[in-house]
Structure 1
Amino acid sequence: MTQPPQPPNEPPQGGFGAPQEPPAGGFGAPQDPPPGGFGAPQDPPPGGYGAPGTPPPPPAQPPGPPQNAPYGYPQTPPQSAPGYGYPGQQPGQPGQPGQQPGYGYPTQPMQPQYQQQPYQQPYQQAGGSGAGGGKKLTAQMQIIIAAAVAVVLIIGGGVWFASSGGDDSDNETKGGSAGTSQGGEQAADGAGKEKAPDNNKAKVGFQLPAPEVADYTDVVGSWITDKAYVKTGVNQIVGYDLTTGAQLWTIPLPGQVCAATKHVSKDNKTAIAFEAAKRTGAKDYQTCTEVGAIDLTAGKLLWSKSVQGSNAGDDKVRFEEVTLSGTTVAAGGTDGGAAFDLADGTIRWKPEVSAEGCYDMGYGGGGGLVAARKCGSYDDPQVTIQNLNPLTGAPVSSFKMPAGVEYAGIVSTKPLVVAADVGDTAGDGSSISDFFSIDEKTGKLRAKIPADADKYAAQCGSTEVEKCQQVVVGNDKLYLPTEEHDDSTGSDNTNEIVSFDLATGKSTSDRADAGDSYTMFPLRMDGGNIIAYKMPPYDKGGRIVSINGSTFEETLLLENPSDESVRDAESSFSADYAEILYGDGRMVISESTVSKPTSSSLDEKSYLAVAFTTK
């Protein structure tokens, strides 16, 4: 069923203006640390999950790849979002204030799924249960088999990686271009633009303190240009110097931003939706009715518009999300969808009354413009995916989702990939039971990819159309992370990124290991390469890697400092709700919502955004 958006709450008057300089004593300050300050070794909590105690000896046989099996942002943040590495909470479930475990210390260990469902080995082990199993091989035969296995592993080009039990940096290329492998192979979508720096050890670039607010407030929206980091604040959007974090410009708004698109035009224009008036109290919610375009280079609001649609009567149409495709800004919600010209805000279409009760819940943008359209009754809804002409809104093709689908998430528009929870069977809060690969020209189903909730870890918004995260599409493949499982030491967790062929729906041999004590997920595509973030253990900094789409060879692009104060700042952001951007040697992680500090967190520093740089 359609649910109205949960409105954010009231910030204090005067808005939020980030300071020009980081506060004295901030974790990125260049002075010497005080005695026992950041960087000083500290014992982890006794018995903590992932504590670096003496690991057991590694297994004689390293684990192989998983069995063949298929592979956002939730709209409402928890009251106390857990830090990275905290898997004891399902997306969308509220945390318990004052009871947040330390970074990397879950409330309970993850179940060893990959022991219960063992990997299928890429080759038959000598003396195994296959033909001739149990027969002792001669030394000469063992040598021949070992050589053959080595050839298979080399040809596989990333099919199988051993978990070394040590620092996984050995599996990451230390130099050269992330766009090609050592053999010069490129993925189908071409070489990436991101190059490995001469020194991939990052330092803190700048830090932006969280604004003071009366209650939960959306600050969704962040972008990077060649000169600025642009971030939503309270009743404003602010551009910061990409190197120093100094404020460059401010766009004041009549109300709070309630939706933003990640898509940006070639000339650095993007779209937002915001409230028509400021809030005057903690519970004084305003309706999200305004749509606008902003120039990220000039720091200007180009235009803002609202519409009155037949579905909304005489009231303004309410919007819950907004996207951009080419020169079309499209916004959708429970009142229906509307579209505007990016240049001047000219209305291209708005909600219309339909005898079937149809309306556009939302749109996916980027390379194409795709609508998720709902028709029918409350008890028997029908969701249709329509590839649209972005200038007129006329459907180019349509695909009817199967019965039991109430909402759908658009993962990609070209190629067209949709996620849905068919019959509410996912059971893990991800809103994904299956992925659908659709031919955007004909509307025919190419492949259906079941997403076993016990194996794969992507997620989409419960009602939003373009809020899928930790999953990307490229090279005509779907890339997604596996769920966490025991690493080779048995004392911490790890996972992998794997892929599925969009033409056949079958799993491929692609597999990239996060390494012991790390877990990772994809952020975006870079040509034919996957840019991924590695969440670190409690005593190290996070990493950005590029995974070659052809060989699945990893290149380390950036590694954050392991100083305690820096780790605390990085881990204060929740993976399920943070916005993580990476480009040209810089990583910025920011909040999508901020809230009033709880009594237990008054002494903790809260950040709107933290930047790291290798430059």
Structure 2
Amino acid sequence: MTQPPPPPPNQPPQQGGFGPPQPSQPPQTSPPAQTPPPPPAQQPQTPPAPQPPAPQPGYGYPQAPQPPQPPQGYGYPGQQPNPYAQPQAPYTQQPTAYGQPGYGYPGQPTMPMHPQAGQPGGGRKVNSSVVIIVSALVAVALIIGGGIWYAKSGGDDSGKKDTASSGGGTGGKDDKGGGTGGTSTGGKEKVPADTAAEQLFKVPLPKANDTVSTAGSWITDKVYAKSGIAQIVGYDPAKGTKLWTIKLPGPVCAATNHVTSDGRTAITFQPKTPAKGSSAGCSQIAAIDLDAGKKLWTKSVDSGDYPISFENVTVAQNTVAVGSTSGGAAFDIASGKVLWRPKSTDTCYDAGYGGGEKLVAVRKCGQYDNRQLHIQTIDPKSGKVISEYKMAEGIEYASVVSTDPLVVAADVGDSAGDGSGISDYFSIDNKTGKLRTRISAPGDSFGGRCDGITRVEYCKELVVGNDTLYVPTEEHDGTGQYSRTNEIVAFNLGTGKQTGQRADAGDGYTITPLRMDGGNLLAYKRPPYDKGGQIVSVAGGSFKETKLLENPATESVRDAETNMLPEYAEILYSQGHLYMSAIYADDKSGSSSSEEDLVVAFGTKN
């Protein structure tokens, strides 16, 4: 049975109030906790997921302590040690084009990948005849579920609302990049006459009697929608007034960021609100019409005596796909009709899927600690395997960063050392299944994170577009006293080499990639203690930055904004509107001296 990871805090650690840092208190840093890896076992259902690393000092706030861990509760059973937190192997930084080593510019060579690309199939068969769909809402105590989705994102291709081409950041709508190797094309996001934003509305964080998932947020031309406690609410994008509410019997477990061209998406949720400290399993799958504000259908998938709990859900074209160690299924998003089911064998199963314009499965074969992962591009309607790439044996987990172009992230040999789940990226040809290139991304130099343990399609702070991978560097000292900053760098997905382009955050700011907008990259700049955050557009060709929005610098607004850490919060930007939202509520919600928010929305005046 799978155990989802405990959620990170909604807000950063206390920073000692606003105002300039005190010279007598230099910033302190703490190395990530090092815990032993989980003991080997014979084919467990899913090893415990790592906890997210605590936010490091920065953003103009020295002496940031480690954030408190939230209590365990339904949706988050079994808080586990971090299996990724291994000692980091020494890394020799080489001189770079920027004149000095470090800060994410090691100039390392691309490492060769020795496994051969396999033939389509890989033991994967589609069984469309034996399908049992259980419509009743069943609570099974043996199922340990309650997964949580950390929003990621991208924009959509060909003017659709889907988010296929850029996986990893958080975002709204987008156009097809259209360029290769950094060639930019026009985006839809326009530069306003006045980039100064105002706070449009806030939604208070609901009170809960336990730790509850509020994962999932989406934006269309008509609505901004956000999960609450056992419900999804649609808001007017500018005014924040409620347009509709979809009540659910239990909390949302997982949500895909992908939205079809007609405003449909999918979630999984618990069949009831369980008792404190327990879980009812994430057995319910639903399609949501965001524009209409209604639940189209609810399904569950039976595996013998009980319904399967799903922490992986995605949408590819008009197909909803769910996968787990116990089985999976694919449904038509409009009708809920079963399209196909992957057939598990004694040694192989579809762990989960990445969606968007294409559908990609991560199929696991072999025994635990001797696994081989098959990365399969699949026809969404039939389940037929189009191409397959076999990763090296021993790589236990992989995450789908993007399906088109296909990019997969993995922590090879548990070498990342920082809990990010990423040591290498694999650029794969969708048509042939052959490896294009492998990109080494040491955790001490580059940011971004993925969780391939329980959620195949969870990656944060990473964006793919223009046949390029955009990655933030780790924070480093800025030019000001106690200031921190970072950059976004680009890797060509054909050669695996850095393009030499760099988007600087600016002193005191840290920059996070969100999604593509045509051939341009949208990014969020988290501010220093005395500024408001910004949204910028980075031209794909020149890497020139253009500011689209800047939040107010008043203390109350800064307080609300800085509670939403980019590492964990869901951040969406579209048409001059910025939405930042929390991914969980707990029994401490609303009990602190400062108000906590489920949603904070900002917008320019024109």
Matched with 1:14 is none
- The answer to whether structure 1 residue 330 and structure 2 residue 321 are counterparts is yes
Alpha-carbon separation, structure 2, partners of 1:486 and 1:42? 19
Aligned pair partner of 2:280 in 281, 286, 303: 286
Matched with 1:214 is 209
Alpha-carbon separation, structure 2, partners of 1:87 and 1:395? 51
Say whether the 8 Å CA contact 1:189–1:474 is kept in structure 2: no
Percent sequence identity over matched residues? 52
Alpha-carbon separation, structure 2, partners of 1:97 and 1:395? 41
Matched with 1:197 is 192
- The answer to whether structure 1 residue 252 and structure 2 residue 225 are counterparts is no
CA shift, 1:240, in A, is 1.0
Report the residue type matching 1:378 in the other structure.
Answer: Y
* Structure 1 residues 114 and 447: alpha-carbon distance in aligned structure 2, compared to 1, 3 A threshold: closer
| Structure 1 outlier segments of 4+, above 2 Å | 2-8, 40-51, 74-90, 93-98, 113-123, 185-190, 349-353, 488-491
* Structure 1 residues 289 and 258: alpha-carbon distance in aligned structure 2, compared to 1, 3 A threshold: same
What SS does the corresponding residue of 2:343 show, helix, strand or coil?
A: coil
Aligned pair partner of 1:421 in 392, 407, 411: 411
TM-score (norm 2): 0.74
CA shift, 1:592, in A, is 1.1
Aligned pair partner of 1:514 in 494, 501, 505: 505
Report the residue type matching 1:376 in the other structure.
Answer: G
Say whether the 8 Å CA contact 1:186–1:548 is kept in structure 2: no
Q: Deviations over 1:151-183 (max 9, x none)?
A: xxxxxxxxxxxxxxxxxxxxxxxxxxx99xxxx
Matched with 1:403 is 393
Report the residue type matching 2:496 in the other structure.
Answer: G
Say whether the 8 Å CA contact 1:439–1:446 is kept in structure 2: yes
Aligned pair partner of 2:533 in 542, 558, 570: 542
Alpha-carbon separation, structure 2, partners of 1:344 and 1:498? 43
Greater shift, 440-449 or 233-242, is seen at 233-242
Q: Deviations over 1:536-562 (max 9, x none)?
A: 111111110000001100000000111
CA shift, 1:336, in A, is 2.6
Alpha-carbon separation, structure 2, partners of 1:229 and 1:437? 33
Alpha-carbon separation, structure 2, partners of 1:45 and 1:89? 13
Say whether the 8 Å CA contact 2:354–2:360 is kept in structure 1: yes
Report the residue type matching 1:120 in the other structure.
Answer: A
Report the residue type matching 1:286 in the other structure.
Answer: A
* Structure 1 residues 452 and 115: alpha-carbon distance in aligned structure 2, compared to 1, 3 A threshold: closer
CA shift, 1:227, in A, is 2.8
Matched with 1:138 is none
Report the residue type matching 2:558 in the other structure.
Answer: R
Count of matched residue positions in the alignment of Structure 1 and Structure 2: 480
CA shift, 1:238, in A, is 0.4
Matched with 2:238 is 243
- The answer to whether structure 1 residue 299 and structure 2 residue 293 are counterparts is yes
Say whether the 8 Å CA contact 2:401–2:408 is kept in structure 1: yes
Alpha-carbon separation, structure 2, partners of 1:212 and 1:41? 27
Aligned pair partner of 2:337 in 346, 349, 366: 346
Say whether the 8 Å CA contact 1:258–1:275 is kept in structure 2: yes
* Structure 1 residues 7 and 200: alpha-carbon distance in aligned structure 2, compared to 1, 3 A threshold: closer
Say whether the 8 Å CA contact 1:578–1:590 is kept in structure 2: yes
Q: How does 1:465-484 map to 2 (within 5 A)?
A: 465-484=456-475
RMSD over aligned CA atoms reads 3.2
Q: Deviations over 1:518-547 (max 9, x none)?
A: 110101111111000001111111110000
Q: How does 1:57-76 map to 2 (within 5 A)?
A: none
* Structure 1 residues 586 and 387: alpha-carbon distance in aligned structure 2, compared to 1, 3 A threshold: same
Aligned pair partner of 2:227 in 229, 232, 235: 232
Q: How does 1:66-215 map to 2 (within 5 A)?
A: 85=59, 95=68, 119-121=96-98, 188=183, 190-215=185-210
CA shift, 1:299, in A, is 0.2
CA shift, 1:6, in A, is 5.0
CA shift, 1:188, in A, is 3.5
What SS does the corresponding residue of 2:593 show, helix, strand or coil?
A: coil
* Structure 1 residues 282 and 368: alpha-carbon distance in aligned structure 2, compared to 1, 3 A threshold: same
Report the residue type matching 1:325 in the other structure.
Answer: A
Report the residue type matching 1:221 in the other structure.
Answer: G
Alpha-carbon separation, structure 2, partners of 1:462 and 1:3? 13
Structure with larger Rg: 1
Alpha-carbon separation, structure 2, partners of 1:114 and 1:568? 37
Alpha-carbon separation, structure 1, partners of 2:424 and 2:448? 11
CA shift, 1:395, in A, is 0.8
* Structure 1 residues 559 and 247: alpha-carbon distance in aligned structure 2, compared to 1, 3 A threshold: same
Alpha-carbon separation, structure 2, partners of 1:7 and 1:543? 29
Matched with 2:484 is 493
Alpha-carbon separation, structure 2, partners of 1:564 and 1:515? 21
Greater percentage in helix? 1
What SS does the corresponding residue of 2:399 show, helix, strand or coil?
A: strand
Matched with 1:5 is 4
Alpha-carbon separation, structure 1, partners of 2:6 and 2:416? 26
CA shift, 1:117, in A, is 5.9
Alpha-carbon separation, structure 2, partners of 1:346 and 1:84? 50
Matched with 1:611 is 601
CA shift, 1:359, in A, is 0.9
Alpha-carbon separation, structure 2, partners of 1:213 and 1:77? 22
TM-score (norm 1): 0.73
Aligned pair partner of 2:446 in 443, 456, 459: 456
CA shift, 1:225, in A, is 1.8
* Structure 1 residues 592 and 563: alpha-carbon distance in aligned structure 2, compared to 1, 3 A threshold: same
What SS does the corresponding residue of 1:426 show, helix, strand or coil?
A: coil
